Amino acid sequence: MKIVITEFMDAPAVAQLAARHEVVYDPTLVDDPARLHAQAALADALVVRNRTQVRGELLATLGRCRVVGRLGVGLDNIDVPGCEARGIAVIPATGANALSVAEYVVATAMLLLRGAYQASAQVAAGAWPRPALINGREAGGKTLGLVGFGAIGQLTARLAQGIGMRVIASDAALGAGHPVYRDTGVAPVGLDELVAQADVVSLHVPLVDSTRHLFDARRLAAMKPGAVLINTARGGIVDEPALAAALREGRLGGAAVDVFADEPLPGGGAFVDCPRLVLTPHIAGLSVEANERVSSMIAQRVLEALG
Ligand SMILES: NC(=O)c1ccc[n+]([C@@H]2O[C@H](COP(=O)([O-])OP(=O)(O)OC[C@H]3O[C@@H](n4cnc5c(N)ncnc54)[C@H](O)[C@@H]3O)[C@@H](O)[C@H]2O)c1
Ligand SMILES: O=C(O)[C@H](O)COP(=O)(O)O
Protein backbone atom coordinates (compact mmCIF):
# COMPACT_ATOMS: atom_id res chain seq x y z
CA MET A 1 0.00 0.00 0.00
CA LYS A 2 1.02 3.59 -0.46
CA ILE A 3 1.70 6.02 2.40
CA VAL A 4 2.12 9.73 1.57
CA ILE A 5 3.84 11.91 4.20
CA THR A 6 3.38 15.62 3.49
CA GLU A 7 5.41 17.26 6.30
CA PHE A 8 8.52 16.39 8.31
CA MET A 9 8.66 13.14 10.27
CA ASP A 10 11.43 11.50 12.30
CA ALA A 11 13.65 9.36 10.01
CA PRO A 12 13.44 6.02 11.92
CA ALA A 13 9.63 6.21 11.86
CA VAL A 14 9.65 6.86 8.10
CA ALA A 15 11.95 3.83 7.73
CA GLN A 16 9.57 1.73 9.84
CA LEU A 17 6.74 2.57 7.42
CA ALA A 18 8.94 2.04 4.35
CA ALA A 19 9.88 -1.45 5.54
CA ARG A 20 6.24 -2.53 5.11
CA HIS A 21 4.76 -0.27 2.42
CA GLU A 22 5.57 2.07 -0.44
CA VAL A 23 6.32 5.47 1.11
CA VAL A 24 6.39 8.92 -0.47
CA TYR A 25 8.15 11.11 2.11
CA ASP A 26 8.26 14.66 0.80
CA PRO A 27 8.00 17.47 3.39
CA THR A 28 7.69 20.01 0.53
CA LEU A 29 4.36 18.52 -0.62
CA VAL A 30 2.44 20.71 1.85
CA ASP A 31 3.54 23.79 -0.13
CA ASP A 32 2.80 22.39 -3.59
CA PRO A 33 -0.96 21.76 -3.96
CA ALA A 34 -0.74 20.25 -7.46
CA ARG A 35 1.81 17.58 -6.48
CA LEU A 36 0.11 17.10 -3.10
CA HIS A 37 -3.25 16.37 -4.74
CA ALA A 38 -1.66 14.04 -7.33
CA GLN A 39 0.07 12.01 -4.60
CA ALA A 40 -2.96 12.08 -2.27
CA ALA A 41 -5.17 10.59 -4.99
CA LEU A 42 -3.01 7.42 -4.89
CA ALA A 43 -2.56 7.27 -1.09
CA ASP A 44 -3.92 4.50 1.13
CA ALA A 45 -2.67 6.50 4.11
CA LEU A 46 -1.84 10.19 4.50
CA VAL A 47 0.46 11.49 7.26
CA VAL A 48 0.36 15.23 8.07
CA ARG A 49 1.42 17.80 10.67
CA ASN A 50 -0.54 21.01 11.41
CA ARG A 51 -0.03 22.79 8.08
CA THR A 52 -1.65 20.36 5.62
CA GLN A 53 -5.34 21.28 5.35
CA VAL A 54 -7.20 17.97 5.00
CA ARG A 55 -10.48 19.38 3.78
CA GLY A 56 -12.14 20.61 0.57
CA GLU A 57 -10.16 19.80 -2.57
CA LEU A 58 -7.54 17.65 -0.79
CA LEU A 59 -10.19 15.61 1.00
CA ALA A 60 -12.03 15.12 -2.30
CA THR A 61 -8.90 13.64 -3.90
CA LEU A 62 -8.51 10.99 -1.15
CA GLY A 63 -10.29 8.30 -3.16
CA ARG A 64 -8.35 5.33 -1.74
CA CYS A 65 -7.31 6.66 1.66
CA ARG A 66 -8.23 4.67 4.79
CA VAL A 67 -6.35 6.59 7.44
CA VAL A 68 -4.97 10.06 8.14
CA GLY A 69 -2.15 10.04 10.71
CA ARG A 70 -1.71 13.38 12.50
CA LEU A 71 1.83 14.05 13.77
CA GLY A 72 0.42 16.14 16.62
CA VAL A 73 -2.72 16.67 18.66
CA GLY A 74 -4.79 19.60 17.32
CA LEU A 75 -7.24 18.52 14.61
CA ASP A 76 -8.35 21.97 13.45
CA ASN A 77 -6.52 21.44 10.11
CA ILE A 78 -8.58 18.30 9.42
CA ASP A 79 -12.25 18.03 8.47
CA VAL A 80 -12.81 15.11 10.86
CA PRO A 81 -16.55 14.63 10.11
CA GLY A 82 -15.72 14.82 6.37
CA CYS A 83 -13.06 12.11 6.79
CA GLU A 84 -15.41 9.92 8.81
CA ALA A 85 -18.12 10.29 6.15
CA ARG A 86 -15.63 8.87 3.63
CA GLY A 87 -14.63 6.01 5.95
CA ILE A 88 -11.22 7.56 6.69
CA ALA A 89 -9.97 7.12 10.26
CA VAL A 90 -8.19 10.14 11.77
CA ILE A 91 -5.43 9.25 14.28
CA PRO A 92 -3.86 12.00 16.45
CA ALA A 93 -0.65 11.56 18.48
CA THR A 94 -2.50 12.09 21.75
CA GLY A 95 -0.16 12.88 24.65
CA ALA A 96 3.05 12.38 22.65
CA ASN A 97 4.13 16.05 22.71
CA ALA A 98 2.49 16.96 26.05
CA LEU A 99 5.73 17.12 28.05
CA SER A 100 7.35 19.53 25.60
CA VAL A 101 4.34 21.87 25.84
CA ALA A 102 4.15 21.60 29.63
CA GLU A 103 7.86 22.46 29.96
CA TYR A 104 7.40 25.44 27.61
CA VAL A 105 4.55 26.73 29.79
CA VAL A 106 6.45 26.47 33.08
CA ALA A 107 9.62 27.92 31.53
CA THR A 108 7.88 30.94 30.00
CA ALA A 109 5.77 31.51 33.13
CA MET A 110 8.94 31.76 35.23
CA LEU A 111 10.70 33.91 32.64
CA LEU A 112 7.83 36.37 32.32
CA LEU A 113 7.10 36.63 36.04
CA ARG A 114 10.78 37.41 36.70
CA GLY A 115 10.89 39.83 33.75
CA ALA A 116 14.67 39.95 33.46
CA TYR A 117 15.03 38.11 30.16
CA GLN A 118 15.30 41.17 27.93
CA ALA A 119 18.33 42.65 29.70
CA SER A 120 21.05 40.65 27.87
CA ALA A 121 22.03 43.37 25.39
CA GLN A 122 22.16 46.02 28.13
CA VAL A 123 24.24 43.81 30.45
CA ALA A 124 26.65 42.91 27.62
CA ALA A 125 27.01 46.61 26.79
CA GLY A 126 27.93 47.43 30.42
CA ALA A 127 24.68 49.26 31.27
CA TRP A 128 23.96 47.15 34.43
CA PRO A 129 20.16 47.78 34.59
CA ARG A 130 19.80 46.31 38.10
CA PRO A 131 17.48 48.99 39.58
CA ALA A 132 14.95 48.40 36.80
CA LEU A 133 14.86 44.66 37.44
CA ILE A 134 14.46 44.32 41.20
CA ASN A 135 10.70 43.77 41.05
CA GLY A 136 10.69 40.37 39.33
CA ARG A 137 8.31 37.85 40.87
CA GLU A 138 8.76 34.23 41.97
CA ALA A 139 6.51 31.52 40.50
CA GLY A 140 6.33 29.63 43.81
CA GLY A 141 3.14 30.53 45.68
CA LYS A 142 1.52 32.06 42.60
CA THR A 143 -1.70 30.71 41.07
CA LEU A 144 -1.64 29.03 37.66
CA GLY A 145 -5.01 28.91 35.87
CA LEU A 146 -5.33 26.20 33.22
CA VAL A 147 -8.05 26.72 30.63
CA GLY A 148 -8.60 23.15 29.42
CA PHE A 149 -7.57 20.27 31.68
CA GLY A 150 -6.82 17.47 29.22
CA ALA A 151 -3.49 15.72 28.57
CA ILE A 152 -1.36 18.88 28.41
CA GLY A 153 -3.21 20.75 31.14
CA GLN A 154 -2.77 17.85 33.58
CA LEU A 155 0.94 17.44 32.89
CA THR A 156 1.48 21.20 33.17
CA ALA A 157 -0.28 21.13 36.56
CA ARG A 158 2.15 18.47 37.81
CA LEU A 159 5.23 20.42 36.74
CA ALA A 160 3.87 23.70 38.14
CA GLN A 161 3.00 22.10 41.48
CA GLY A 162 6.60 20.86 41.58
CA ILE A 163 7.82 24.46 41.74
CA GLY A 164 5.25 25.38 44.36
CA MET A 165 2.48 26.89 42.28
CA ARG A 166 -1.17 26.54 43.26
CA VAL A 167 -3.13 25.25 40.27
CA ILE A 168 -6.77 25.85 39.33
CA ALA A 169 -8.46 24.66 36.14
CA SER A 170 -11.55 25.18 34.05
CA ASP A 171 -12.66 22.49 31.61
CA ALA A 172 -15.98 22.51 29.77
CA ALA A 173 -16.26 18.71 29.73
CA LEU A 174 -15.13 17.86 33.28
CA GLY A 175 -17.65 18.38 36.08
CA ALA A 176 -16.32 19.75 39.38
CA GLY A 177 -16.70 16.26 40.91
CA HIS A 178 -14.52 14.57 38.29
CA PRO A 179 -11.91 12.32 39.98
CA VAL A 180 -9.06 13.94 38.00
CA TYR A 181 -9.35 17.01 40.25
CA ARG A 182 -9.06 14.90 43.42
CA ASP A 183 -6.19 12.85 41.94
CA THR A 184 -4.17 15.89 40.87
CA GLY A 185 -4.95 18.26 43.73
CA VAL A 186 -6.09 20.89 41.22
CA ALA A 187 -9.12 23.03 42.11
CA PRO A 188 -11.97 23.14 39.56
CA VAL A 189 -13.31 26.66 38.96
CA GLY A 190 -15.47 28.48 36.43
CA LEU A 191 -13.68 30.44 33.71
CA ASP A 192 -14.57 33.86 35.15
CA GLU A 193 -13.27 32.83 38.58
CA LEU A 194 -10.09 31.43 37.02
CA VAL A 195 -9.39 34.65 35.14
CA ALA A 196 -10.01 36.71 38.29
CA GLN A 197 -7.66 34.58 40.47
CA ALA A 198 -4.77 33.46 38.25
CA ASP A 199 -1.35 35.11 38.20
CA VAL A 200 -0.58 32.99 35.12
CA VAL A 201 -3.28 31.86 32.67
CA SER A 202 -2.33 29.08 30.24
CA LEU A 203 -4.58 27.90 27.41
CA HIS A 204 -5.00 24.19 26.59
CA VAL A 205 -8.27 23.91 24.69
CA PRO A 206 -8.76 22.92 21.06
CA LEU A 207 -9.77 25.59 18.52
CA VAL A 208 -13.49 24.97 17.96
CA ASP A 209 -16.46 27.35 17.56
CA SER A 210 -16.91 27.68 21.35
CA THR A 211 -13.24 28.60 21.98
CA ARG A 212 -12.74 31.06 19.09
CA HIS A 213 -11.81 34.44 20.65
CA LEU A 214 -12.47 32.98 24.13
CA PHE A 215 -9.83 35.51 25.25
CA ASP A 216 -11.23 38.67 23.69
CA ALA A 217 -10.68 42.24 24.92
CA ARG A 218 -13.30 41.85 27.66
CA ARG A 219 -11.77 38.66 29.11
CA LEU A 220 -8.22 40.03 28.86
CA ALA A 221 -9.40 43.10 30.79
CA ALA A 222 -10.79 40.81 33.51
CA MET A 223 -7.35 39.25 34.17
CA LYS A 224 -5.50 40.32 37.31
CA PRO A 225 -3.32 43.41 36.82
CA GLY A 226 0.20 42.18 36.02
CA ALA A 227 -0.94 38.63 35.17
CA VAL A 228 0.78 36.58 32.47
CA LEU A 229 -0.99 34.88 29.54
CA ILE A 230 0.50 31.84 27.77
CA ASN A 231 -1.04 30.57 24.55
CA THR A 232 0.27 27.31 23.15
CA ALA A 233 -3.22 26.13 22.13
CA ARG A 234 -4.29 27.84 18.90
CA GLY A 235 -4.07 31.40 17.61
CA GLY A 236 -7.78 31.93 16.99
CA ILE A 237 -8.49 31.55 20.72
CA VAL A 238 -6.93 34.94 21.64
CA ASP A 239 -7.73 38.33 20.11
CA GLU A 240 -4.17 39.30 19.09
CA PRO A 241 -4.58 43.11 18.76
CA ALA A 242 -6.39 43.18 22.14
CA LEU A 243 -3.52 41.22 23.74
CA ALA A 244 -0.93 43.58 22.23
CA ALA A 245 -2.88 46.57 23.57
CA ALA A 246 -3.05 45.07 27.09
CA LEU A 247 0.74 44.55 27.05
CA ARG A 248 1.53 48.02 25.71
CA GLU A 249 -0.72 49.64 28.31
CA GLY A 250 1.00 47.63 31.08
CA ARG A 251 -2.25 45.96 32.18
CA LEU A 252 -0.75 42.49 31.68
CA GLY A 253 2.64 41.50 33.11
CA GLY A 254 3.63 39.48 30.06
CA ALA A 255 2.61 36.97 27.43
CA ALA A 256 4.11 34.01 25.63
CA VAL A 257 2.50 33.27 22.27
CA ASP A 258 3.44 30.18 20.27
CA VAL A 259 0.43 29.98 17.95
CA PHE A 260 -1.22 32.60 15.75
CA ALA A 261 -4.47 33.15 13.86
CA ASP A 262 -2.39 33.25 10.64
CA GLU A 263 0.79 31.15 10.47
CA PRO A 264 3.41 32.21 9.62
CA LEU A 265 2.50 35.41 11.49
CA PRO A 266 2.44 38.16 8.85
CA GLY A 267 5.14 40.76 9.61
CA GLY A 268 4.28 44.31 10.64
CA GLY A 269 1.33 43.42 12.86
CA ALA A 270 0.21 44.27 16.39
CA PHE A 271 3.07 42.41 18.09
CA VAL A 272 5.94 44.39 16.55
CA ASP A 273 8.01 45.99 19.37
CA CYS A 274 5.40 44.91 21.92
CA PRO A 275 6.88 44.85 25.46
CA ARG A 276 6.94 41.87 27.87
CA LEU A 277 6.28 39.44 25.04
CA VAL A 278 7.86 36.12 24.06
CA LEU A 279 6.95 34.95 20.55
CA THR A 280 7.83 31.50 19.18
CA PRO A 281 6.97 29.93 15.79
CA HIS A 282 4.62 27.11 16.87
CA ILE A 283 7.33 25.03 18.55
CA ALA A 284 5.95 24.49 22.08
CA GLY A 285 5.23 20.86 21.21
CA LEU A 286 8.36 20.37 19.13
CA SER A 287 11.55 18.95 20.56
CA VAL A 288 13.82 16.10 19.54
CA GLU A 289 12.13 13.81 22.05
CA ALA A 290 8.56 14.85 21.18
CA ASN A 291 9.23 14.44 17.46
CA GLU A 292 10.53 10.91 18.07
CA ARG A 293 7.51 9.97 20.22
CA VAL A 294 4.94 11.58 17.91
CA SER A 295 6.49 9.98 14.81
CA SER A 296 6.85 6.47 16.23
CA MET A 297 3.32 6.56 17.68
CA ILE A 298 1.82 7.56 14.34
CA ALA A 299 3.94 5.09 12.35
CA GLN A 300 2.75 2.28 14.63
CA ARG A 301 -0.91 3.31 14.52
CA VAL A 302 -0.94 3.84 10.75
CA LEU A 303 0.57 0.37 10.26
CA GLU A 304 -2.13 -1.09 12.52
CA ALA A 305 -4.86 0.75 10.63
CA LEU A 306 -3.57 -0.52 7.28
CA GLY A 307 -3.57 -4.07 8.69
N1 LIG B 1 1.76 24.66 20.32
C2 LIG B 1 1.93 23.37 20.17
O3 LIG B 1 2.97 22.92 19.71
C4 LIG B 1 0.85 22.41 20.59
C5 LIG B 1 1.18 21.09 20.89
C6 LIG B 1 0.18 20.22 21.29
C7 LIG B 1 -1.15 20.66 21.39
N8 LIG B 1 -1.43 21.95 21.08
C9 LIG B 1 -2.83 22.44 21.22
O10 LIG B 1 -3.25 22.18 22.55
C11 LIG B 1 -4.59 21.70 22.53
C12 LIG B 1 -4.84 20.86 23.78
O13 LIG B 1 -4.09 19.67 23.70
P14 LIG B 1 -4.37 18.45 24.71
O15 LIG B 1 -3.47 17.35 24.29
O16 LIG B 1 -4.34 18.91 26.11
O17 LIG B 1 -5.86 18.08 24.30
P18 LIG B 1 -6.94 17.29 25.15
O19 LIG B 1 -8.00 16.90 24.19
O20 LIG B 1 -6.30 16.22 25.97
O21 LIG B 1 -7.53 18.38 26.17
C22 LIG B 1 -8.30 19.47 25.76
C23 LIG B 1 -9.28 19.79 26.88
O24 LIG B 1 -9.97 20.99 26.56
C25 LIG B 1 -11.30 20.86 27.06
N26 LIG B 1 -12.17 21.86 26.42
C27 LIG B 1 -12.69 21.85 25.19
N28 LIG B 1 -13.39 22.99 24.98
C29 LIG B 1 -13.31 23.71 26.13
C30 LIG B 1 -13.81 24.98 26.55
N31 LIG B 1 -14.58 25.72 25.74
N32 LIG B 1 -13.50 25.42 27.80
C33 LIG B 1 -12.75 24.67 28.63
N34 LIG B 1 -12.25 23.46 28.27
C35 LIG B 1 -12.53 23.00 27.06
C36 LIG B 1 -11.66 19.43 26.76
O37 LIG B 1 -12.74 18.98 27.58
C38 LIG B 1 -10.36 18.69 27.07
O39 LIG B 1 -10.32 18.22 28.39
C40 LIG B 1 -4.68 20.94 21.20
O41 LIG B 1 -6.01 20.87 20.72
C42 LIG B 1 -3.81 21.76 20.28
O43 LIG B 1 -4.58 22.73 19.61
C44 LIG B 1 -0.47 22.82 20.68
O1 LIG C 1 -1.39 20.20 17.82
C2 LIG C 1 -0.20 19.95 17.98
O3 LIG C 1 0.20 18.86 18.44
C4 LIG C 1 0.78 21.02 17.67
O5 LIG C 1 0.17 22.05 16.98
C6 LIG C 1 2.00 20.57 16.97
O7 LIG C 1 1.66 20.02 15.74
P8 LIG C 1 2.79 19.69 14.67
O9 LIG C 1 4.04 19.37 15.40
O10 LIG C 1 2.26 18.55 13.90
O11 LIG C 1 2.97 20.86 13.79
- pLDDT band for 190, please (50, 70, 90 cuts): very high
275: cis peptide before it, omega within 30°? no
Together in a domain, 203 and 187: yes
pLDDT tens profile 153-167: 999 999 999 999 999
pLDDT tens profile 201-257: 999 999 999 999 999 999 999 999 999 999 999 999 999 999 999 999 999 999 999
Separation of alpha carbons 101 and 79, rounded Å:
24
Going by DSSP bridges, is the β-strand pair 200-203/187-188 parallel, antiparallel, or unpaired?
unpaired
Sheet order of strands, 89-92 included: 22-25, 2-5, 45-48, 67-70, 89-92
Together in a domain, 253 and 271: yes
Percent of the chain exceeding pLDDT 90 equals: 99
Separation of alpha carbons 135 and 115, rounded Å:
8
Q: Give how many domains the chain has, as a whole number.
A: 2
Structure confidence at residue 281 (pLDDT): 98
Sheet order of strands, 254-257 included: 187-188, 166-170, 143-147, 200-203, 228-231, 254-257, 277-279
CB of 235 closer than 6 angstroms to any ligand 1 atom? no
Reduced to 3 states (helix: H, G, I; strand: E, B; else coil), residue 127 is: coil
pLDDT tens profile 85-122: 999 999 999 999 999 999 999 999 999 999 998 899 99
Q: How far is the CA of 124 from the centre of ligand 1 (A)?
A: 40
Enclosing H/E stretch for 101: helix 98-114
Together in a domain, 72 and 41: yes
- pLDDT band for 275, please (50, 70, 90 cuts): very high
Separation of alpha carbons 162 and 166, rounded Å:
10
Together in a domain, 60 and 113: no
Q: How far is the CA of 1 from the centre of ligand 1 (A)?
A: 33
Structure confidence at residue 68 (pLDDT): 99
Together in a domain, 16 and 108: no
Q: What is the CATH number of the domain that holds 229?
A: 3.40.50.720
pLDDT tens profile 56-73: 999 999 999 999 999 999
Tell me the C-alpha to C-alpha distance, in Å, between residue 223 and each of 19, 210, 254, 258.
Answer: 53, 20, 12, 20
Structure confidence at residue 27 (pLDDT): 98
Separation of alpha carbons 201 and 7, rounded Å:
31
Structure confidence at residue 217 (pLDDT): 98
Structure confidence at residue 187 (pLDDT): 98
3-state secondary structure string across 162-211: HCCCEEEEECCCCCCCCHHHHHHCCEECCHHHHHHHCCEEEECCCCCHHH
> How confident is the prediction for the chain on average, in pLDDT?
98
Q: How far is the CA of 168 from the centre of ligand 1 (A)?
A: 16
234, 276, 293, 301: which is the annotated catalytic residue? 234
Mean pLDDT of 271-279: 97
Atom from ligand 1 closest to the CA of residue 205: 24
Q: For residue 51, what are the domain limits?
A: 2-96+288-306
49, 282, 293, 301: which is the annotated catalytic residue? 282
pLDDT tens profile 279-304: 999 999 999 999 999 999 999 999 99
pLDDT tens profile 36-49: 999 999 999 999 99
Together in a domain, 236 and 191: yes
Residue whose Cα lies nearest atom 3 of ligand 1: it is 285
Together in a domain, 165 and 35: no
Q: Which of 9, 30, 49, 232 to mutate to test the pocket of ligand 2 (most atoms within 8 A of CB)?
A: 49
Structure confidence at residue 67 (pLDDT): 98
Atom from ligand 2 closest to the CA of residue 72: 3
Mean pLDDT of 184-191: 98
Mean pLDDT of 20-35: 98
Which of 294, 299, 307 shows the shortest CA–CA distance to 73?
294
Together in a domain, 208 and 297: no
Mean pLDDT of 188-211: 98
Structure confidence at residue 124 (pLDDT): 97
